[in-house]
Chain A
């Protein structure tokens, strides 16, 4: 059983929902990422989404764009991101890590090489924002052969027909983007999300994580009421921007938000 599958089954058995924080690897500098990943777990994270910095993050709002720019000032590459995961695994062999990013850095490394290196480093899943299932038919089997789950996005604009196509290729979990927009957009509408999730559940048995627009314990708890997992990114990354000169303070602030979401979700 993969780490992702094991984690979601354990949560389901305990009647709990997954808390899935996102951070950008190397933000604000490469030394912060590893301790921050451990902080996230200690504060209650069930799965970590680790962003691969990219120069042209088309699907991200200003908060994540700036995080990627901060990381790229230190020339954080995909190889370094994999090395961070390898180091994380020396202390934590339980928490699933999903790499999230854009296709070009992976394409440049080569899909075969990437799949091999990622699996060896201890990566569990890969979510490439700009790789829809139509273009993923060669890539998914390569990832699967190395035990990597391919996480796909579903959106408010996704029809039932497309959802079926996507879920045929997806494994681990699927990520429902709660609103039309980029990361860091304004608040989501839980009623709309619940309605869409009802449709998606007729299409797939995979756990469904929901992200975009979740900013505090209250919205996390509301989403946890309808989804299997809660993905939170911009509100955490914002703490790094706000404490750019003091990464320790940023880590504390991020851990506090995650812990608050955890307790709100478990209440």
Chain B
């Protein structure tokens, strides 16, 4: 980036939802009017102090914000490099950053008078966060979840049921997150009059990538202020995992104008990028169109979407939010990967050294963050977004250890 020609990050997306060549609104005609309406309502409410006050109140008293910025002294000692700070989104109500967004979108649903919400979910965190806010606001809630993920994340499936949501297993395609999103879109197009679709990440048709980002930016705004207060200066690097990329955008976006702050988005390297068994479209994919937006995708030569692999269900997605595609192309954020093994190692390391059990998704960020910190100096600071807690993954980790619980 050249100093003489600074990029205006607040100017994206444009009026039609484009982040450079990415984003946009690629959906069937039936949905266009609903997206126009959502955009109108969002523009109005995001400028409405009352709406913002209600959102902030809920974040403070229901979610428990601000989440701490924790100096992980023991992990720092173990790694022997830059100081590692953890942004503790795992301490939010429901155990992950997802709730920041579902609170916001459920408020939109309420203002729009929609009695029913639907959502797609991979690991189940977004599904739980949606079911939670739906329970609180008395909204009918149905959550689409790939049949394979229903199996992998039985605990979250039951949590959603307890919260009063109906979980609908999706058996089409690869039976994971992308298929759940297809099915949610089909539901929405059929029930458009009474239904609000709460998308869980910064992807989908405009205005979703923008409004989900705006709701998640509370992460970065807090982290920036907390780092200034605790360390007296800005961090040198930010690290976050990227599936769809909502926790990463939430952390990165408020720092985009801080040129000294490097940013690293960590994709799921699966069994290794070279094996093709991964979920890393920014590292190994090409631009294409899926789920309402143009973005980096994993697709074959004929344009068919490729099945992905990751140990973490929440990163098992062949696309990524369009703003990440743009940030990659302009070089503002570096996109890297961590393999299943590296993530599992980081999961164990953080659990043993700090007594904090990260979600397998977040473990990818921890894995890369440790690697990065090791090659930096002790007077530097790395902030890792600990986007969720690991309770939901205990069965998976135990299974890998050959233990059945």
Contacts and interface: CB of A to CB of B under 8 A. Distances in A.
Interface of A: 53-62, 65, 69, 72, 75, 77-79, 102-109, 129-132, 134-135, 152-159, 162, 166, 177, 180-182, 185
12 contacts: A54-B304, A55-B304, A104-B304, A107-B288, A107-B289, A108-B288, A109-B303, A132-B26, A157-B30, A157-B33, A157-B192, A180-B189
A157 B294 CA distance: 24
Contact of A65 (B26, B31, B172, B185): B172
Interface string B252-292: 00000000000000000000000000000000001111111
Given A65-B172, A107-B289, A181-B189, A162 B33 contact: yes
A103 B192 contact: no
Contacts of A158: 29, 32-33
B302 A105 contact: yes
B367 to A, nearest CB: 30
Nearest to A106: B303
A108 B24 CA distance: 17
B379 interface: no
Given A134-B16, A134-B25, A156 B302 contact: no
Interface residues of B, number: 39
B274 to A, nearest CB: 22
A130 B27 contact: yes
Interface in B298-326: 299, 301-305
Interface of B: 16, 24-34, 172-173, 178-179, 182, 185-186, 189-193, 286-292, 294, 297, 299, 301-305
B304 A103 contact: no
Nearest to A59: B28
B299 A135 contact: no
A155 B288 CA distance: 25
A98 B51 CA distance: 48
Contacts of B31: 157
A172 to B, nearest CB: 16
A61 B302 contact: no
Given A157-B33, A157-B34, A181-B190, A56 B302 contact: no
Contacts of B173: 55-56, 69
A79 B16 CA distance: 32
Contacts of B27: 58, 130, 132
A181 B187 CA distance: 8
B303 A107 contact: yes
B29 A78 contact: no
A39 to B, nearest CB: 27
A104 B291 contact: no
A180 B288 contact: no
Nearest to B289: A103
Contact of A58 (B16, B25, B28): B28
Given A104-B290, A182-B190, A72 B304 contact: yes
